[in-house]
Structure 1
Amino acid sequence: MKKIFLTMATAFALLHPTFGQIAQRQESTGYKSRKLKLDEVNLVSSYYSQDGNNAAVTGGIGSQKLSDIANIFDIRLTKYDLKERKHTFGLDVGIDHYSSASSDKIDLQANSSASHADTRVYPSLSWSVENEKKGTTLALGLSSSTEYDYQSFGGNIAFSTKTKDRNGEFTAKFQTYLDQVKLILPIELRSSGGEHETGGTAGRNTFAGSLSYAQVINQRFQVMLLADVVQQTGYLSLPFHRVYFKDGSVHQENLPNNRFKIPLGLRASYFLGDNVVIRTYYRFYTDNWGINAHTAEMELPVKINAFFSISPFYRYYTQTAAKYFAPYQSHTIADQYYNSNYDLSKFNSNFYGAGIRFAPPKGILGLQRLSMLEVRYGHYSKNIQMSSDIISLNIKYK
């Protein structure tokens, strides 16, 4: 089942912002190998745990207790062609396994139903070619994600070009995800009440265009502007989410078949000497479901010595409610669309923690190729009785 915690775990562990020196260049002199060579391998493992009292499966009430173990293996290979263009080939394989008290309540009578746990497998392939002389990069990618009730295929293409002085870079990217959702209804809404009965499948498509521009202002200060346009069409509800009306009747969540999103962001980094960096991020988000949101984040990496650093961080988020959301037993038969998923409610959240990075010159435990070990911990809380913790471990082989 496609859950927001999976995205959160992956992003926290592997994709946490590391906006840095975009003007850094590789040496343009000397021999460049045209043989395919191993450039970098990352192994990321994380454990995520949450609890709360607003489960969408039971109509906005009930336990949200959940745990997830995620493992991501990321490998990068590089080579130069006859025109001295750098080719990078990437393979990522992720496997998540979760158990969920709320998903178990698809069948309200079961002590432990088939939906109480699931495993998600999500491989992806990427390729990019960089012309270092011209300062341009072209990238392509394919991805897949498979769960018991969800199948997704994705593709992306991106192009970036640097300014003549190499202090600025413009990037344009297009992504698409083509999904199929298995329509698993709450057990009391099934015609036969059978455990394995479904209503077939439904499609969901996402198309996203992204633009960004990064600029080195001076040796200490860098900024990046980001803008996205996202269009989703198809079946955008989750079939096993219940909605209880004022009259006590139970219904299946019903949301519009289109959603248009616009996120706009600004990222900035300021270097306080050689040992401290201030990284900040702000994002404004709006969509045609009535949600407006603001995100503000700060991270403060501090280098203790040449190979050890600590990075405390804090993020604040606030959003308005979607116009289709209402709590348990608040919707009426007059509502065309209805939803009691508190991810679409009005709330604010706090996310804070720290990362510890260890990169000794002789490698981890004296193994030269094991170049980096990083541990990150974060605590997340909403003001609507929901909290979670995540810890991740990243080991880099280079």
Structure 2
Amino acid sequence: MLFIGILGANGQIKLNKTVADSSNYQSRSLKIDEINLVSAYYKQNGNNSAVTGGIGTEKLSDFANTLDLQLSKLNKAGNKNTFLFEIGIDHYTSASSDKIDPSTISSASMSDTRIYPSLNWTQSNEKTGNSFGFTGFFSTEYDYQSLGAGFNLSRLSKNKNTQFDFKLSAFLDTWKVILPIELRSPANSGQLSKSEGSSPRNSFSAAFSLSQVINPKLQALIMIEPAYQKGLLDTKYQRVYFTDGSLKAENLPDQRYKLPIAARINYFATDRVILRTYYRFFMDNWGIRAHTAEIEVPVKLTSFISISPFYRYNHQTGAHYFAAYGEHAPTSQYYTSDYDLSTLNSDFYGAGIRITPPNGVFGWQHLNMLELRYGHYSRSTNLMSDIISLNLKIK
């Protein structure tokens, strides 16, 4: 409804051509640059749920919608102020989460809705291309709330062939500590307590990237994204079973350092074909080492229709603290049976189609882009998933 309302409001704006004059006047009124709506449906299945100790269903579905509204305004100095408001709403259902308390017909954790708005302000110099800005984030769901802030900075060389980007982000999160039914303590009323209180988790990250136009056909980018987390990093409703048959809640260190290093190369092979390649190395202090390689080949079929097949491969060495169901030693200090932290290989492949007709999609001039993408994911742990997404852009 919000999206339809914005479209209606946008439809009332009369686009009058500005008559050029000798004063080079530029309007400083706030205007809508573009509106983007992305909807995606995700579905997965597997048999290694961390909630039940590394065994059991991983069936899950998620319907996600994101709407962003970009506005801009020139200030007296001629700099451009851009405001990007974004709101996302996800609704998921999870069979594995419902096993936190199997005695209930349907626990509150079986399905949940997450809402996450954000607002970014960026000021840019139209002549130099340099910019800086700030972002505020918020996210809430059944057992989790998050507040965040960010800073972004971009600098271009005089010939605009080299660009440096820097970003800082901080997220201050609060978890509601929910234990499996077997491990809950009696509350004052004599009933089992559903929650053991709340605990913080704070995340801080930076991103440094350098992009370079090597020649008219070749562009390259390198990026480093160090991150640090502190607080409750384990998920307490995930069970862990030990070799002696005992059961505990997942326990992981309260600090984690991450260091991803990535490179991207885009090659414009012809006027109709682009090769986009990507490689990323990841390491952390929990023992995970991962290599990710991806290739996407956008092909322009006509002047306004293109397709983009893609493939991504990932290999990961598991964390020191992972073991399968019933394989942890009772003397272990840290332990998890979450297969996201295991040694694994994965493949993700699919394709997208993008339509940008000159008269607008479905003949509506303002709706200038429609993109539909599908991807299939398979993992060596027998997890499989599918995702389909739709992106609409209005200008």
- Normalization by structure 2: what TM-score? 0.92
Give 1:108 deviation, angstroms.
2.3
* Alignment pair present for 1:172 and 2:166: yes
Give 1:110 deviation, angstroms.
2.5
Residue 175 of structure 2 corresponds to: 181
* Alignment pair present for 1:107 and 2:107: no
Give the aligned residue type for 1:204: R
Distance in structure 2 (CA, Å) of the matches to 1:81 and 1:195: 59
Q: Give the conservation status (yes or no) of the 8 Å contact 2:309–2:352.
A: yes
Residue 368 of structure 1 corresponds to: 365
Residue segments in structure 2 that go unaligned for 5+ positions in a row:
1-22
CA distances 1:282-339 after superposition (whole Å, capped 9, x unpaired)? 0000000000000000000001111100000000001001000010011122100010
Q: Give the conservation status (yes or no) of the 8 Å contact 2:117–2:139.
A: yes
Distance in structure 2 (CA, Å) of the matches to 1:341 and 1:30: 61
Give 1:70 deviation, angstroms.
0.5
Residue segments in structure 1 that go unaligned for 5+ positions in a row:
1-28
Match of 2:349 among 332, 347, 352: 352
State the SS of the aligned residue for 1:133: coil
Give 1:33 deviation, angstroms.
2.2
State the SS of the aligned residue for 1:240: coil
* Alignment pair present for 1:119 and 2:113: yes
Residue 20 of structure 2 corresponds to: none
Distance in structure 1 (CA, Å) of the matches to 2:152 and 2:109: 37
Give the aligned residue type for 2:320: K
CA distances 1:208-252 after superposition (whole Å, capped 9, x unpaired)? 011000000010000001001101001100110100111111100
CA distances 1:42-75 after superposition (whole Å, capped 9, x unpaired)? 1111100000000000000000000000110111
CA root-mean-square deviation = 1.2
Q: Give the conservation status (yes or no) of the 8 Å contact 2:322–2:341.
A: yes
Question: Relative to 1, partners in 2 of residues 1:131 and 1:370: Cα closer, same or farther, differing over 3 Å?
Answer: same
- Name the stretch that deviates more: 187-196 or 290-299: 187-196
Residue 328 of structure 1 corresponds to: 325
Residue 126 of structure 2 corresponds to: 132
Give 1:273 deviation, angstroms.
1.7
Distance in structure 2 (CA, Å) of the matches to 1:239 and 1:154: 23
Match of 1:151 among 145, 152, 168: 145
State the SS of the aligned residue for 1:58: coil
Residue 46 of structure 2 corresponds to: 52
**Paired residues, what number?**
370
- Normalization by structure 1: what TM-score? 0.91
* Alignment pair present for 1:161 and 2:121: no
Give 1:132 deviation, angstroms.
2.1
Match of 1:230 among 227, 245, 264: 227
Residue 55 of structure 2 corresponds to: 61
Match of 1:90 among 84, 90, 106: 84
Give the aligned residue type for 1:318: H
Distance in structure 1 (CA, Å) of the matches to 2:367 and 2:177: 45
State the SS of the aligned residue for 2:237: coil
Residue 141 of structure 1 corresponds to: 135
Give 1:134 deviation, angstroms.
2.9
* Alignment pair present for 1:221 and 2:218: yes
Residue 382 of structure 2 corresponds to: 385
Question: Relative to 1, partners in 2 of residues 1:195 and 1:317: Cα closer, same or farther, differing over 3 Å?
Answer: farther
Residue 280 of structure 2 corresponds to: 283
Q: Give the conservation status (yes or no) of the 8 Å contact 2:186–2:192.
A: no
Give 1:271 deviation, angstroms.
0.3
Distance in structure 1 (CA, Å) of the matches to 2:115 and 2:256: 26
Residue 25 of structure 1 corresponds to: none
Residue 11 of structure 1 corresponds to: none
Q: Give the conservation status (yes or no) of the 8 Å contact 2:212–2:219.
A: yes
CA distances 1:376-395 after superposition (whole Å, capped 9, x unpaired)? 00000101110000000111
Q: Give the conservation status (yes or no) of the 8 Å contact 2:40–2:390.
A: yes
Distance in structure 2 (CA, Å) of the matches to 1:118 and 1:223: 41
Match of 1:255 among 245, 252, 271: 252
Q: Percent identity?
A: 54
CA distances 1:132-169 after superposition (whole Å, capped 9, x unpaired)? 22331001101111000000111110111001111010
Match of 1:272 among 269, 273, 287: 269
* Alignment pair present for 1:337 and 2:334: yes
Give the aligned residue type for 1:352: Y
Residue 296 of structure 1 corresponds to: 293
Residue 4 of structure 1 corresponds to: none
* Alignment pair present for 1:206 and 2:203: yes
Distance in structure 2 (CA, Å) of the matches to 1:177 and 1:381: 31
Distance in structure 2 (CA, Å) of the matches to 1:32 and 1:67: 48
Distance in structure 1 (CA, Å) of the matches to 2:107 and 2:246: 23
Give the aligned residue type for 2:41: Y
Give the aligned residue type for 1:121: I
State the SS of the aligned residue for 1:215: strand
- Name the stretch that deviates more: 104-113 or 172-181: 104-113
Distance in structure 1 (CA, Å) of the matches to 2:77 and 2:302: 40
- Name the stretch that deviates more: 323-332 or 194-203: 194-203
Distance in structure 2 (CA, Å) of the matches to 1:333 and 1:67: 35
Residue 19 of structure 2 corresponds to: none
